[in-house]
Amino acid sequence: MLRMKAMKEDAWKDMLDVSACHWSRPHFRTYSKCDLQVKNMCEAFNREILEHREKPIIPLLEGIKHYITKRMTSHKELLHGYTGSIYPKIQLVIKKNKKQAQEWSPAWHGDDDISIFGFINGVETYCVDLKKEVCSCRKWDLSGIPFCHIISCIWKIKKQPEDYVVACYMKSTFIDTYSNIVYPTNEPQLCHIDDLNTMAPPMMRRAIGRPKK
């Protein structure tokens, strides 16, 4: 925060009005297993539906449905020929963390479960409890993906890091997530017309000020 204040005081003042749990990883909760502090996913979705925003309601919904359908089928196609047990992108993260883990040497602290380890690397010190699935750096706690400290401890007890990845990143979980489908629909001219009264649109009231696009 002090560096932010030195760089741009107005931004620093704005951040003081926002709870740290919304933008600071040390204050994030760990139950969601997501360490993202940016809104890239929302921005990506907004970019995809940008061309549909000015359309009437039915073409708008059809455009969004088409995008969702393409995204779901692309994930299914990716997983169909994939033989690993963990989602491919998560496997790449683990591979990167394994390289960093080679630089760390954990020290077992003598517990019966062989789960408590400590690290000392210069001025850096970390504590790991494999049984409770926590590390003082909180990167494993937040993401559910073993970080370099965790991986070095897992190697110490002759096990595989992939066994310590949370279930939400497993291939089986992704298959269950995308098991449903979005069914196609006919155009309005082919839809069945019943004898019910036609729904009227809401009354339009002119708002104060310049109309928004």
Whether pLDDT at 37 is above 80? no
What ranges do the domains of the chain cover?
1-30, 40-81, 86-180
Amino acid at 110: G
Model confidence over 145-172: pLDDT tens digits?
999 999 999 999 999 999 999 999 999 9
Say if residues 119 and 106 touch (Cβ distance below 8 Å): yes
Whether pLDDT at 193 is above 80? no
Say if residues 15 and 5 touch (Cβ distance below 8 Å): no
Does residue 3 come out as left (phi exceeding 0), alpha (psi in the -120 to 50 range) or beta? alpha
State both tokens at 2.
Answer: 């002090």
pLDDT of 161 reads: 92
Model confidence over 107-140: pLDDT tens digits?
889 888 889 999 877 677 889 999 988 888 888 8
Say how far apart CA 109 and CA 130 lie, in whole Å.
Answer: 12
pLDDT of 122 reads: 67
Say how far apart CA 90 and CA 166 lie, in whole Å.
Answer: 11
